[in-house]
Every structure is written in structure tokens, then in C-alpha cells.
């Protein structure tokens, strides 16, 4: 009985931790996607690996807070290098992100192998940061995750209007007297916070998926920023809860990959079935449009000013019956209903 209670307590702690992480990662990840900086989370998460290993080498401690401080420092260094590359070279944004991502991760792997071959027994478990180990989350860790996530959400709400202006109209944002540097620093700082608190659970490789996938899925359902952020947080929460639960009942499965699989399923469902941008919806709309265009092709012919003699009396009678045209003394005029239909058929160019 005590074993059952222990298992359930551990499961609750792990599920709560991944749920909280999913909420904050989904919220800040949506902002990164809308700023066309989806890869920034990927670069930062991979850059934390050498920070974790260096923190262990320099301190000789495997205390989680020491390792996370090392991860945070490495993330800040990587962001600074990306900014320097973009400012003083002609390398594009995606190329600089890929360069830092691969370089830092490769350096981290080399350091990890070096530590493993050093014979230091206390290094065991450092490689868990690659794919994460949510099962080691404690009650204190959940409390810490909750505080940091709450701080992230509160800061986003506090600067909500500024963030919207900055994301959608940076020039107008600057004309209002706001500092782009300060707000950009705030958003990057929040991104770093999410990455650092998440690498222990999800790992450096898959942390970017926890930030990008919820935003991609939510974007299929709405064009409104607030709705996007709420939906992304909800998707992150659901994937965190289900992923942690599935990996807990199947002890051989790591939490991070399972969470990402659940997220991928949510993204696929959103891409196919969302009523706004879903592939199925788009296919049905295109099919309906083509059928309507064929059906009312004579109306487009009349609007284009082409020779009316090639139209049959049946086609003209049909348009009259549908109240799309009206004619008198061989002069044909398109009605208000016909004009509205033409706007649909011609893409609103009228």
C-alpha cells in the first residue's frame, strides 16, 4: 500500500512539474514564433549543455542549482554571440542561430566525454540533461518551476501592450518612445528562464519542441495574439500532463520524448482539422470555390466585358433567376447580389 502511495505521489509531482513547464514554454514560445525567431529556443537549449558540464568541472558539484546557473550563463553567452554575429557580419539570422546551436552543443558533447573519461564517479547522470529526466523532480523543484513560470506570465501580462506593438509593428513601437533594446532583452531573458528551468525535465535537445510546437498548433486556430498565447499554454499543459503520465506508467520511456510525441500529435491534429487554417478545411474551401466559379463563370464573363453573344439564353436566364443580373433593352446590369458574388469569385478585388 505504501509503495502505491509513493508511486502516485511521485507521479503527481512529475505531472505537475511538466504541466507548469508546458504553460510557460508555450506562452513565451508563441512570442518567439511571431517574431520569426522560432530557432532561438533551439539555439539556447543546445547552448546550455556546455554550461552544465563546465559548472560541474569548475565546482566539482552536481547540485542542480549550480548546474542550472552554469546553463543560464552559457545561454546568455550564446545570445550575446548571436547578437554580435548579426551586428558585425552579413550572416543571416537563421545561419547564426544554427552556427551557435551546433558549435555549443558539439563543445558540450566533447566536455561530457572528457568528464566521463576522467574517472570521477560523481559525474554520473550529467548525460541525463540531453534528453531530460523528469522522474527526478522533487516537490521543491515543482515549487521553483511554479514561481518562475508565474513570474514569466506576470511579466508578459505587465508588458502585454508593449509586446503586441513590438511583435506586430516595431517601427510604430519605437515612434511611441519605447526602447526596442529593453523589450528585446526582456523577451530573451524570459526565453532563457524557460529553457534553463526546462532542460532538466525535457532535455537540451527537445526543449525547443516544447516552446515551438504549442505556438505552431495554436496559430492554426486563431489570429488573435491573446488567444494564441492561451491556447499554446493549454497545449503545453496537456502535452506535459499526458507525456509525464504515459512515461510514468511505462517506466522505460523517457519523459521528454513522450511529451514531444504528444505535442506532435496535437500539432498534426491542428494542421489537419482546425476550422480556420486546417488542411481539410482548406481543401474543402478550394473545392467549393472551384465548383462555384464553374457554376457562375458566365457572370465573370459579363463583368470582364467580353462578348455577350457567346452566352446562351439558358445561362442568362439562370443568372436572372438567381438575381445576379438584370437586363432591359439588351443592356445587362449586374445586381448587388451579383457584385457580392463577384467579390468572392475574384478575391475581393471589386
CA distance 51 to 41: 16
Residues of the chain with CATH 1.10.3470.10: 2-277
CA distance 274 to 267: 10
Q: Show Cβ contacts of residue 100 under 8 Å, excluding neighbours closer than 6 positions.
A: 43, 47, 78, 81, 82, 85
Distance of CA 8 to the CA centre of its chain: 31
**Would you tell me how many other CB atoms lie within 10 Å of the CB of residue 185?**
12
**Closest by Cα among 256, 335, 303, 316 to 14:** 256
Q: What is the pLDDT along the chain (350 residues), one digit of tens a residue?
A: 444 444 577 778 888 888 888 898 889 989 888 888 777 877 888 888 888 888 888 887 777 778 888 888 888 888 888 888 888 888 887 788 888 888 888 888 888 888 877 666 556 566 676 666 666 677 877 888 888 889 989 999 998 888 888 888 777 777 777 777 888 888 888 888 888 888 777 777 778 888 889 999 998 898 888 899 999 999 999 988 888 888 877 667 777 788 888 999 999 999 999 887 888 888 888 888 898 888 888 888 888 876 677 778 888 888 888 888 887 656 788 888 888 888 888 875 55
Given CATH 3.90.1530.10, say whether it is the number of domain 2-277: no
Distance of CA 19 to the CA centre of its chain: 16
For 62-97, write each residue's pLDDT tens digit: 777 788 888 888 888 888 888 888 888 888 877 888
Helix (DSSP H) and strand (DSSP E) numbers for the chain? 16, 2
Amino acid at each position: 500500500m505504501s509503495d502505491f502511495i509513493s508511486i502516485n505521489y511521485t507521479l503527481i509531482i512529475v505531472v505537475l512539474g511538466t504541466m507548469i513547464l508546458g504553460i510557460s514554454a508555450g506562452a513565451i514560445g508563441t512570442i518567439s514564433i511571431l517574431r520569426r525567431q522560432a530557432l532561438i529556443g533551439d539555439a539556447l537549449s543546445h547552448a546550455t549543455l556546455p554550461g552544465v558540464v563546465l559548472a560541474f568541472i569548475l565546482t566539482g558539484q552536481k547540485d542542480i542549482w549550480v548546474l542550472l546557473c552554469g546553463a543560464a550563463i552559457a545561454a546568455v553567452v550564446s545570445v550575446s554571440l548571436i547578437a554580435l554575429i548579426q551586428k558585425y557580419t552579413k550572416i543571416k539570422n537563421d545561419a547564426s542561430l544554427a552556427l551557435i546551436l551546433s558549435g555549443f552543443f558539439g563543445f558540450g558533447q566533447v566536455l561530457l566525454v572528457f568528464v566521463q573519461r576522467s574517472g570521477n564517479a560523481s559525474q554520473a547522470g550529467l548525460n541525463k540533461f540531453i534528453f531530460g529526466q523528469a522522474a527526478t523532480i522533487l516537490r521543491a523543484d515543482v515549487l521553483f518551476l511554479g514561481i518562475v513560470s508565474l513570474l514569466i506570465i506576470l511579466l508578459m501580462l505587465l508588458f502585454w501592450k508593449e509586446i503586441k506593438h513590438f511583435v506586430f509593428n516595431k517601427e510604430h513601437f519605437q515612434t511611441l518612445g519605447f526602447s526596442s533594446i529593453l523589450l528585446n532583452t526582456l523577451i530573451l531573458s524570459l526565453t532563457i528562464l524557460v529553457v534553463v528551468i526546462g532542460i532538466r525535465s525535457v532535455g537540451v535537445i527537445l526543449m525547443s519542441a516544447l516552446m515551438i510546437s504549442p505556438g505552431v498548433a495554436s496559430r492554426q486556430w486563431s489570429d488573435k495574439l491573446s488567444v494564441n498565447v492561451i491556447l499554446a499554454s493549454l497545449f503545453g499543459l496537456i502535452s506535459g500532463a499526458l507525456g509525464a503520465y504515459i512515461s510514468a506508467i511505462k517506466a522505460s520511456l523517457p519523459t521528454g520524448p513522450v511529451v514531444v510525441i504528444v505535442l506532435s500529435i496535437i500539432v498534426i491534429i491542428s494542421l489537419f482539422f482546425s476550422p480556420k487554417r486546417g488542411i481539410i478545411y482548406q481543401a474543402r474551401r478550394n473545392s467549393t470555390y472551384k465548383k462555384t466559379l464553374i457554376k457562375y463563370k458566365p457572370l465573370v464573363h459579363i463583368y470582364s466585358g467580353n462578348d455577350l453573344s457567346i452566352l446562351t439564353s439558358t445561362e442568362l436566364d439562370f443568372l436572372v433567376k438567381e438575381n445576379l443580373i438584370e437586363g432591359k433593352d439588351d443592356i445587362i446590369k449586374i445586381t448587388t447580389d451579383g457584385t457580392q458574388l463577384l467579390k468572392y469569385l475574384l478575391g475581393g478585388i471589386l
